[in-house]
Amino acid sequence: MLGPLADPEPPVANRHGAPVELHEFPSPGAAVAFLLSEDARGISGRLISAPWDPWREPEFQARLRSERDLATIRRIDEQFFTTA
C-alpha cells in the first residue's frame, strides 16, 4: 500500500536471494526489438535470457527454430507430463 495508509516499516520479502535491483540486463530493449522483428519468425514459446543466451547469433536462432526442446520449460503435472 502506498500513501498515508502505508505501513511505516518496509515490507520484508518472504524469499531469499539477491535483491532484484542487482539483476541487470545489458540490453532488454534490444532483446524485445529482436523478438518483434522478422528475424524472430518461427521462434515462439521459448525462454531466452537477454544477458546469458547468444540470441543475437544466427546459429543460436537457427537452433531455436529446429530444436523443439531448446530453451523450453515443461510443466510436470503427473497427468499430461510425468517425471517417468
pLDDT the model gives residue 23: 42
pLDDT the model gives residue 60: 93
pTM tops 0.75: no
The tens place of each residue's pLDDT in the chain, 84 residues long, gives 667 777 888 767 676 665 555 444 456 787 778 778 888 888 877 888 888 889 889 999 999 999 988 998 877 777 766 666
Domain coordinates in residue numbering, the chain: 46-84
Residues in the chain: 84
Whether the CB-CB separation of 58 and 64 falls below 8 Å is answered with no
